[in-house]
Each structure stands twice: as structure tokens, then as C-alpha cells.
Amino acid sequence: MTKPAKPLVSVIVAVFNQEKFIGRCLRSLLHQTLPHEAYEIIVINDASTDRTPYALELFHKAIRVIHNEKNMGLPASLNKGIREAKSDYIIRVDSDDYVNAKTLDFLHMYLDLNENSNAVACDYLLVDDQEDVLGRRNCLIDPIACGIMFRKSLLFEIGLYDETFRCNEERDLRIRFEKKYKIDRLELPLYRYRRHEKNMTNNVASMKFHDDLLMKKHSLFFSQENNATAY
């Protein structure tokens, strides 16, 4: 394959204190069937205080690392990575998750061959700390933040992630995106979503605060959704 003038895909990984899982995440991204020269991996280290910086150093020749001087939060870190991206396609992978070797290849192929498609998500497997599979999930029925490849220009058009959301940033982005565009489904379980005790969604107080914030910002959307459900 001739080396492209710029990468075809940019993978964005924001990480904060994930020394246990970040290596597994990056190894899965470095062993893709899409040729290495066709994609870039941008990791934003959000001022981790554990051994995450050391873990990232082990991969320094194969990835781009941006170190935040202070903790900025997940959406701000993701936005920084997207702004640094050189490609036209963006996919987010969380630092405690990992992916199938064909993930980038298949999602890129889908968007490349379907010019009218705005974004595409793949199904995922729910796994535990030992990577035992707990179940398969439909990415449209049980959506998550990751495993979605977007056209970068459309993310900029809607204003990227809202940095006021420390949680629910993906739900807010998705609501704004789907007001104008559609996320297609690729019925292949290519993503591995890890469930463990440190998942952000386990912080009940924080999730409640950001649920209320999301409801306030998108009250019309939730009102229309409730009316549709009633019928």
C-alpha cells in the first residue's frame, strides 16, 4: 500500500490513571489489519498521577502523546485530540477498553464506500476485568461513547464535546449530532467495553448531577422522546 499523504483514520484515546488497562488498549490498536501508516493514535494523558506516563512511554515510537499540565477532564481532553487529528475520520476508544483487529479497517471501509453516511458504530462485547465476555450489545439499542467512526468535519460543525459535561459528554454529543445526521450500525461486535469498579458510571452522585444537566440542556428532546414513547 502506498503511504497516504495523511492518515486515513485518527484514533483518540484520553487517559487518566489507567496504568492497569492502557497497555491492553494500545496493543489492540497497534495490531490492526489496517496498515500502520494509514492511521494515527493520539493519546491525551490528562495529568495522570499513577504510572500511566510510564506505560505510555513504552509505546512512544508508535503513538502521539499529548500531556496535559493539569487535569482538564474527559471532554476537554477529547477535544484537544480531535483538534490535533490529521485525518478526515475520527474514532474514540476509551483507555480501559480494547478492540478487534479489524475495527479500523471495517469502519473506515464502511464510511469510505458509503459517501452519504455520516458516522458508523459497531456492536460491542461487554467484558469483565479478566476479559471474559458478559454479553453482546446492539450499539443503537445500548449506545456507548466509543466504537463510532465520525466524519471529522461534522464533529467540528456541531461544536465537538461540550466541556461542561464531566459525565454524559457522549450523550450530549450524540443528541446534537443526531439532530442533523445519522449514525449507522455495523452489525459486528468489534469493540470490547470493559465493565469494572472504576467505571465513571459507577459514581452515582456525579451521574445524577450530569443527568440533570443533560435534561436541562435538552429538555425539548427528552419531552419529544417521552411523547413518542407514550404512543
With a cut of 70, which residues of the chain have pLDDT below it? 1-4, 196-217, 219-231
Q: What is the pLDDT of residue 212?
A: 62
Report how far residue 117's alpha carbon sits from residue 112's, in angstroms, rounded to the nearest whole number.
9
Report how far residue 36's alpha carbon sits from residue 56's, in angstroms, rounded to the nearest whole number.
18
Q: What is the pLDDT of residue 198?
A: 58
189 and 122 Cβ atoms separated by less than 8 Å: yes
Q: Domain limits of the chain? A: 9-204
Q: What is the pLDDT of residue 143?
A: 96
Q: What is the pLDDT of residue 231?
A: 47
111 and 87 Cβ atoms separated by less than 8 Å: no
Q: What is the pLDDT of residue 57?
A: 97
Pick the CATH number of 9-204 from 3.90.550.10, 3.40.50.300, 3.30.2290.10, 1.20.1250.20: 3.90.550.10
65 and 77 Cβ atoms separated by less than 8 Å: no
pLDDT digits (tens, 9 = 90+) for 163-218: 998 888 999 999 999 999 999 999 999 999 999 665 555 556 655 654 666 666 67
Q: What is the pLDDT of residue 213?
A: 61
E strands present in 100-230: 119-127, 133-137, 148-151, 183-194
Burial pattern 74-89, b for ≥16 Cβ within 10 A else e, equals bbbbbbbbbeebebbb
